[in-house]
Amino acid sequence: MTDITGKKGDVRVRNLKVGIIGQGRSGRDIHAQLLAKLGEYYTIAAVADSMPERQRLAEKEYGCRAYATWEDMLNGEELDLVVNASPSHQHYPITLALLNRGLHVLCEKPLAKTTREVDDLIEAANRSGKKLAIFQNSRYQPAYVQIRKVIESGVLGRIVQIDLTMSGFARRWDWQTLQSNNGGNLMNTGPHPLDQALQLLGTDELPDVTCIMERANTFGDAEDYVKLILRKPGLPTIDLEISSCDAFPHAQFKVQGTNGGLHGTADRLEWKYFKPEEAPDQKLTTEPLFDNKGMPAYCKESLTWHTGQWAISVPEDRTAFEFMTESLYMMLHRALCGGELEITPQQVRQQLWVMEECRRQNPHIYE
């Protein structure tokens, strides 16, 4: 690691030399583009990609060295961190090799396919004393952070159900529609809302899982419709949906509580609630109800509703996605400079356990 002087005068900021495996939609369009804006903390020293045109583009854009293979990159560079943005089915073997070679790794999602593979990676990280980080930038999604604040404030009362939806209408025919490539909506998109769901459950114990998966508009053999219910006694029911056949997508988030609720999207949220101390006193009656004219009546009361709203606000030079990604990279920088990871492999292992159970429950797709 090389020390450089940070922007705060006497404060010294460690600048980490990064190598990126892959220059596709993730390696270039997400990781390299963002890291190039964090020059105080990271330097893109090298990339590895099998396509010569991508190598030349990276050399031009980032002033780095480019290699045809990640093995060549490691043989030619001394790196503080390797970003594994290879195709999904290569995440596990490459990350394992990197850890065994004594390197810190940030791996794109999905980290692996099975809990056994995650256990191998955790063991390798422990053995080498290196950090294994996973690209779960949705942990820093502004709307999700705000939802947690509202829930933790207690104004909604006891939370009964939380809906997380990432649905739309789309037909897809690329490599990420294939089981052999660790494709499908559950592993492509699922790591983001599933990470949020498990954190909202807030327990280290594994939840009860009910999952229905279908192939709707995909041209591959993996699912593109997922309905996932997570339950644990005494905790909210989580309803998670990832669908590619929803022509009328609705609110991305919905929270139901005993004192009120919340709904909204990644850009805007609103919630309303009543205060129990302001509500009329009521008690159970086992006899029929009548109005003041002696006619049959139904339970009715007037509650005073309080409301709240939130709209996204991120730095002008960042999109919301870039803000989330920057937040993750700043967390990772702190962790590599003596701190702790906020998103751990053990947490991601829970995800893979849930995904394994989902596949087990859907043998018509995963035989």
Q: Per-residue pLDDT for 10 more than 60?
A: no
For residue 329, what pLDDT band results from cuts at 50, 70 and 90?
Answer: very high
76 and 50 within one domain? yes
Task: Give start and end residues of each alpha helix (H) in the chain.
Answer: 33-35, 52-62, 70-76, 91-100, 115-128, 142-153, 185-188, 191-201, 320-336, 345-360
**Domain assignment of residue 367, yes or no:** no
For residue 11, what pLDDT band results from cuts at 50, 70 and 90?
Answer: very low
For residue 19, what pLDDT band results from cuts at 50, 70 and 90?
Answer: very high
Question: What's the pLDDT score for residue 26?
Answer: 94
52 and 77 within one domain? yes
Taking residues 156-176, report their average pLDDT. 95
Question: What's the pLDDT score for residue 1?
Answer: 42
**Domain assignment of residue 48, yes or no:** yes
CATH code at 210? 3.30.360.10
Contact 91, 111 (CB under 8 A): yes
241 and 260 within one domain? yes
In whole angstroms, what is the distance from residue 27 CA to residue 64 CA? Answer: 14
Query: Which of the 8 DSSP states describes residue 207?
Result: P
Contact 157, 349 (CB under 8 A): no
306 and 172 within one domain? yes
Token reading at 234 = 């005494």
Could you tell me which residues are beta bridge partners of residue 162? 238, 255
Taking residues 157-165, report their average pLDDT. 97
**Domain assignment of residue 214, yes or no:** yes
For residue 314, what pLDDT band results from cuts at 50, 70 and 90?
Answer: confident
**Domain assignment of residue 366, yes or no:** no
156 and 52 within one domain? no
Contact 215, 224 (CB under 8 A): yes
117 and 162 within one domain? no
Q: Per-residue pLDDT for 351 more than 50?
A: yes
Taking residues 81-99, report their average pLDDT. 97
In whole angstroms, what is the distance from residue 355 CA to residue 366 CA? Answer: 11
Taking residues 264-276, report their average pLDDT. 96
Taking residues 194-215, report their average pLDDT. 93
Contact 172, 220 (CB under 8 A): yes
Question: What's the pLDDT score for residue 7?
Answer: 43
103 and 231 within one domain? no
The three-state DSSP-derived secondary structure of 293-343 is CCCECCCCCCCCEEEEEEECCCCCCCCHHHHHHHHHHHHHHHHHCCCCCCC
Contact 353, 207 (CB under 8 A): no
275 and 192 within one domain? yes
Taking residues 344-360, report their average pLDDT. 96
For residue 12, what pLDDT band results from cuts at 50, 70 and 90?
Answer: low
Tell me what percent of the residues of the chain surpass a pLDDT of 70: 97
**Domain assignment of residue 365, yes or no:** no
Domain count across the chain: 2
**Domain assignment of residue 223, yes or no:** yes
Q: How do residues 214-267 score in pLDDT, each as one tens digit?
A: 999 999 999 999 999 999 999 999 999 999 999 998 879 999 999 999 999 999
162 and 133 within one domain? no
CATH code at 76? 3.40.50.720
Taking residues 96-119, report their average pLDDT. 97
Q: What is the mean pLDDT of the chain?
A: 93
297 and 153 within one domain? yes
For residue 2, what pLDDT band results from cuts at 50, 70 and 90?
Answer: very low
Q: How do residues 108-127 score in pLDDT, each as one tens digit?
A: 999 999 999 999 999 999 99
Give the domain extent around 187. Answer: 139-324+346-360
Contact 229, 161 (CB under 8 A): no
Which candidate, 264, 261, 213, places its Cα nearest to that of 236? 261
**Domain assignment of residue 301, yes or no:** yes
312 and 166 within one domain? yes
Q: Taking the chain, what is the end-to-end CA distance rounded to the nearest angstrom?
A: 47
Q: Per-residue pLDDT for 57 more than 80?
A: yes
Question: What's the pLDDT score for residue 5?
Answer: 35
Contact 44, 80 (CB under 8 A): no
253 and 221 within one domain? yes
Token reading at 55 = 């190598």
**Domain assignment of residue 22, yes or no:** yes
